Chain A
Amino acid sequence: MSTIDTLGRGNAFVRGRPLLSVVFLVGFALLVDLVHGMYTGRIPLENVTRLFWNGLLVGLILGLAGIGLSMTYSILNFANFSHGDLITVGAFSGWSVTYLLAGAGATEFGARVLIDANLNVTVLSDPFAVVVGLVLASALTILIALVVDRLVYRPMRDSSGISLLIASIGVALVLRHLVAFVYRAHTRGVTGGERVDILPVFEGAGNVSVNTATLMVVAVTLMIGVHLLVQRTKLGTAMRAMADNQDLALITGIPTERVVTWTWILGAGLTGAAGFLIVLERGTLDFNIGWGLLLLIFAAVILGGIGSIYGAIGGGLIIGLTQSLSTIWIPSDFATPAAFSLMILVLLFRPSGLFGGVSTA
């Protein structure tokens, strides 16, 4: 009886949402092929673990960078296209500070402040400089975000989400090219290339550099911190209330303007930190770093459901893994298009996100 019920429901599902069924079918076929390939040795296990590990790292970065976007999207109600450039601002400002501290006395001040000194910083060589850089990356990004909010978004608080979106495109252009104007356009090597063996991970994935390990630890810590803040504090409750229903929040006596400020502080702070950590892991820095990530971050946030912090993290991991693991089947040039395609599919079939669209949970 229950089997028939299940079958009936499955049948109804396939009839009701044929396209979604096809998507599921393709995903399932790929999974079977992966398992079969690994079993027969067609797809070397080593490759899979390496790709899995890379995907996990990229996913963590996307997730961390996505939390800020997810918060501003749900509470301020617009897709912030300047989010990527807040990452850039965080990366540049934080690394300026780190270079100022790390190379003190060694090289010229100007070369250090513009991150041109080639110091090869690692967490082990200059722990103090890295920590201060991380903190100030957050602080300076918050400052910029608040200034931008005051100048651009606050005068149009009542405008539609699309007007704000368009304004944020303007903000993105301004921020990115101011950074380019000050720091010039070249790509610079920032961190040391040496890999310090601290964690033998899977076979074939090699070892993790201490910089990467730092990224992972800090990212997870920040995520837990945001979770506690949003779940346990009064501010978190107010933010969730605003994400849910702005008017209702207002008449309940929530000081919405103050919550907006705090949203920017939290969102931009995380974004700045993410920018700094991304550079720590990647080792290189140029003014397009955030813009290049923006669409992937959007993909992550949408996948997880806008407004959900766990969703952003989960979405980031899925996007990172998709981008990485898709190269098992398709040419590497199409890794990023595959991730974008996944985003489009999710928007089409499950616009509330894969995890059910719980706002700022």
Chain B
Amino acid sequence: MSSPPGTDADSTGDGDGGSRSDSDADAASRSLLPETRWQRDVVLILATLLGIYALFALIGLALDFDTNGILNVLRELTLFAAVYAMLVLALNLHWGYTGLFNIGVAGFMAVGVYTMAILTASPDATAPGFGLPLWVGIVGGMAMAALVGLVAALPALRLRADYLAIVTLGLSEIIRLTFQSMQFSNALEDALGVATNGGSGMNFPGTRNVVQYAFYRGGDRTSEPTVLGDALFGLGESFDVLPLVVLGWGYNVVLAIGVVAFYVLLVRIANSPFGRVLKAIREDELVAASLGKNTDLFKIKVFMLGCALMGLAGILWQGQAGYTSPHEFRPELTFYVFIALIIGGAGSNTGSVLGGLVFGTLLFQGPLYVPRLVAEGLSVAGVELGPPPNTFYDAALALGSLDPLPMLAYATAGTNVSYLRFVLLGVVLILVVQRRPEGLLGHRIETAAAVDLSNRSRTTATDGGSSNSSSGSTATNADPGSMPTNADPGSTPTDDRRDSTATTDERDPGSTDGDPDE
């Protein structure tokens, strides 16, 4: 009861510098640093992103890329980072929040993307669609993914985690095999006049059209640029940047908006009563049920929501090229998302974004630059790598006679480097699960209450009933609407542990110190 509040909780937590002790000096120093955990997280993500950009810009310079080349490298990195960040956030809702072990991510993405493609593809295309507007496709894709999520959620209600894993994997394979089937496409064409074109994939007006409409009049790349397009292309031209690269970065802005939207949504869910029940289900479903929560309903809802988000992430990803095929949705894709989530830390939204960022860039795209870097490095050192040997056997023979170059050439040739990349991914996954199962940020203590308890004084203020004190930096955390269902925040399990009742109340006047944070 009388244990010093803050010290133990916060030192294991995110290290909320300010509340480590209650001295006023701390409050003063706090105003210099980013104030809330939320702000620090944004800084952390942006710093990581900039660090990765810097690294790859250096790689580009080392490989003698010109400005366009480097910008294109960074554009592609951003694409993967953003897509994986969105997917990981969606999966975090299932696995990180609720503990639902869904390894059918690829299947739900496929449903979203294909529904969108069928709805929006032109009726005259090789794989004809309904030719509906883009937004109908997006909404339809998400709705269909959610619907399939509902079907998948029914098993989730009664199955053990490992069985659920197998069911979702099986479902995702059924979905992929269905879209791969030419017989399915033909049947669809007979019945509805639309097709998926089986394994050869289909074209559709992807979400990239949004950017094209913003940059060109009529959305056609051959026509006049709009005012915005004109300005940006002009800006690009002054740095010798091609319009195509500018256009690509324009799409990255769309993706970035997507990531921010996913993130904000997830943070809001996490701090809502809904999110607290999800976490309670993850920790102990029996307890959640005993407290009168209809856990089945919560699971169904969260499954549908997560699947809709996966569908949207898939739409934004495949919409970049305006083409999709069933081969994109192999189960491996699901595992990539899982690896990213586990690296970032299941349960943490910031960790999810970081995990997606690190995975999409350093682990997924990064290794592909290694062969050229190796060749460049060797040529600087004056060593000729030579043509790669045809087989591993020849390379191993040379290695046996103490000549490592053929093996290096073999390892960096063609698809071999991508095999080694997958080996690396596997090793990283094993090491993280063994050594740091909580990931980069999963160790942080979560706020189970409606308000940020690391800012203790605010809690008591809200307890007092003046819920309008939730403003400013903690606005996303403190959702006034969340209070009624959880009338007494002190009754949530986490609160019990963290709220050292008497002492906190005595320091109640401190709340005035806490508020001017903003």
Contacts and interface: CB of A to CB of B under 8 A. Distances in A.
Given A159-B433, A174-B430, A295-B170, 7 more contacts: A109-B393, A177-B422, A184-B392, A331-B183, A332-B183, A334-B177, A351-B159
Interface stretch (B14-22, B57-65, B413-421, B492-500): B413-421
Given A79-B165, A166-B342, A333-B181, A344 B426 contact: no
A299 B427 contact: no
Among B391, B393, B394, B426: residue with most chain A CB under 10 A: B426
A331 B181 contact: yes
A185 B170 contact: no
A329 to B, nearest CB: 13
B433 A166 contact: yes
A152 B338 CA distance: 18
A113 to B, nearest CB: 6
Contact of B429 (A116, A173, A340): A173
Contacts of A163: 433, 437
B237 to A, nearest CB: 43
Contact of B171 (A110, A180, A181, A344): A344
Interface in B131-175: 154-155, 158-163, 165-167, 169-171, 173-174
A262 interface: no
Nearest to A152: B430
A333 B497 CA distance: 56
A184 B161 contact: no
Interface of B is mostly: helix
A196 to B, nearest CB: 32
Q: Which 7 A-B pairs have the closest CB atoms?
A: A173-B426, A170-B429, A333-B181, A174-B426, A110-B393, A170-B430, A177-B422
Nearest to B392: A182
A180 B426 CA distance: 14
A302 B437 CA distance: 28
B99 to A, nearest CB: 9
Interface size class of A (residues with CB under 8 A): 35 or more
Given A116-B391, A302-B166, A167 B101 contact: no
B391 A340 contact: no
A257 B230 CA distance: 70
B422 to A, nearest CB: 4
A26 to B, nearest CB: 17
A78 interface: yes
Interface in A17-58: none
B374 interface: no
A155 interface: yes
A173 B422 contact: yes
Interface of B: 101, 154-155, 158-163, 165-167, 169-171, 173-174, 177-178, 180-184, 187, 335, 338-339, 342, 391-394, 397, 411, 415-416, 419-420, 422-423, 425-430, 433-434, 437
13 contacts: A78-B162, A110-B393, A113-B393, A114-B392, A152-B434, A166-B338, A170-B427, A170-B428, A173-B335, A174-B423, A181-B420, A299-B170, A347-B166
A177 B181 contact: no
A69 to B, nearest CB: 11
Contacts of B181: 331, 333-334
Contact of A167 (B394, B416, B429): B429
Given A163-B437, A166-B433, A336 B338 contact: no
Nearest to A339: B170
A155 B177 CA distance: 37
B367 to A, nearest CB: 12
A181 B178 contact: no
B391 A167 contact: no
B155 A344 contact: yes
Contacts of A176: 422
A337 B422 contact: no
A98 to B, nearest CB: 17
B170 A169 contact: no
Given A181-B416, A334-B177, A347-B155, A161 B433 contact: no
A76 to B, nearest CB: 12
Contacts of B427: 170, 174
B174 A177 contact: no
Contact of A181 (B101, B339, B419, B437): B419
A304 to B, nearest CB: 14
Interface of A: 78-79, 109-111, 113-114, 116, 152, 155-156, 159, 161-163, 165-167, 169-174, 176-178, 180-185, 295, 298-299, 302, 331-334, 336-337, 340-341, 343-344, 347-348, 351
Contacts of B430: 152, 167, 170-171, 174
Interface of A is mostly: helix
Given A167-B429, A299-B170, A333-B183, A181 B391 contact: no
Contacts of A182: 392
A302 to B, nearest CB: 7
B163 A347 contact: yes
B391 A348 contact: no
Contacts of A334: 177-178, 181, 183-184
Contacts of B180: 333
A351 B180 CA distance: 29
B426 A172 contact: yes
A282 to B, nearest CB: 20
A331 B170 CA distance: 19
Nearest to A332: B183
A161 B434 CA distance: 13
A333 B170 contact: no
B407 to A, nearest CB: 11
Contacts of A169: 335, 338, 426, 429
Contacts of A299: 170
Contacts of A172: 426
A172 B394 CA distance: 26
A340 B174 contact: yes
Contacts of B420: 177, 181
B415 A185 contact: yes
A159 B430 CA distance: 13
Nearest to B393: A110
Contacts of A180: 419
Nearest to A73: B162
Among A155, A161, A336, A340: residue with most chain B CB under 10 A: A340
B419 A177 contact: yes
Contacts of A351: 159-160, 163
A161 B162 contact: yes
A187 to B, nearest CB: 15
B177 A167 contact: no
Contacts of B422: 173-174, 176-177
Given A167-B430, A169-B429, A177 B391 contact: no
A334 B428 CA distance: 36
B392 A181 contact: yes
B393 A167 contact: no
Contacts of A114: 391-393
B363 to A, nearest CB: 12
A155 B434 CA distance: 7
Contacts of B393: 109-110, 113-114
Nearest to A302: B166
Contact of A340 (B159, B173, B342): B173
Given A114-B393, A152-B430, A152-B434, A347 B174 contact: no
A181 B335 CA distance: 20
B205 to A, nearest CB: 28
A337 B174 contact: yes
Contacts of A173: 335, 422-423, 425-426, 429
A177 B423 contact: yes
B29 to A, nearest CB: 40
